[in-house]
Structure 1
């Protein structure tokens, strides 16, 4: 009976302790602080971007409709519907990132939307359309469209990188529901 009481199956499968190289706690904490800093910047910068873009579009349906129409993708009815939806949705996405609501999911949506924006700009560039993206409200017209398209795509790729970073390593401090 005494043998059964003392028998523990976990002891049979215990791995032997192997000496690991010593890593100072200051190195680990410095690395963690740097990664947390990048995560902080990614989360709150993308929140700022989406909130700014959304605020420029809310209450500005005519300009947003014209911006969407310039891409020559959707019907006039869809242009109008999208113009009413885009601003509030961008604002909601930015507020979700700001408050820390479902960080990974909201960053995934952010990435998908940015990919769609890149597709829209790319097709306009390929088709030779001269338009302003309309991302942050009415912009000054420029005549250097290939450069503008290239800069917009590169900017959106940076935003995608920040959104993916937030998906992979979200900054959960001050998050309501990460």
Structure 2
């Protein structure tokens, strides 16, 4: 009579290692963290098209017409990306786009800061010129870096708990 507690071949397919389970939970947290923030940011801007246009124009990076177009479309892009992340659908490609978007936001904020512009980032509505003592560039960059890290995790390891990817595609 054997007293070993080694798993049988049938058990190996049913019980993920503890480390993999932790990574799946980290993936879920990263997905929800980034997804909810993107939905919130987009929803805060979607009903205010002129404000959104002016927020992008305030960065003085793009020609006025292009900046206006970006301001109009960005809220919808953020909402779509956020919903897909919350659902866990097409996680890796959505994470890639979301991470690159966060890096673009960091570059935009950093260049505004370096050029001495005094603007609100417009990340959650608002935007445009503000007083020099009202800027929060370091905090905005740190915040967006945290979001980019969540996206980078999902880019590297898109598998997570409670995802449609897992249900539909087995990963």
CA contact (8 A) 1:46 1:94 kept: yes
Taking the TM superposition and a 5 Å limit, the aligned residue runs for 1:107-122 are 107-122=95-110
- 1:166: how far off? 1.1
Give, in angstroms, the shift of residue 65 of structure 1: 1.1
Gaps of 5+ in 1: 1-21
How far apart are residue 31 of structure 1 and its match?
2.8
1:62 corresponding residue in structure 2: 50
Distance 1:168 1:115 in 2: 16
- 1:167 matched to 2:147? The reply is no
Preserved CA contact (<8 Å) 1:43 1:171:
no
* TM-score relative to the length of structure 1: 0.77
- Any residues of structure 2 matched to 1:139-158 within 5 Å, and which? 143-144=132-133, 148-158=136-146
Q: Is the 8 A contact 2:85 2:94 kept in 1?
A: yes
- From the superposition, tell whether residues 64 and 88 of structure 1 become closer, same or farther in structure 2 (CA, over 3 Å): same
Q: Distance in 1 between matches of 2:161 and 2:22?
A: 14
- Classify the secondary structure of the residue corresponding to 2:164: coil
In structure 2, the residue matched to 1:40 is 28
**Largest Rg, 1 or 2:** 1
- Report the RMSD for the aligned CA atoms in angstroms: 2.3
Give the one of 126, 134, 137 matched to 2:125.
Answer: 137
Q: Secondary structure at the match of 1:116?
A: helix
Aligned residues: 152
Alignment of 1:6-17 (within 5 A): none
Pick which of 91-100 and 167-176 moved more: 167-176
Whole-angstrom CA distance in 2 between matches of 1:171 and 1:145:
40
TM-score, reference length from structure 2: 0.80
- Runs of 5+ in structure 2 lacking a partner? 1-5, 7-11, 167-171
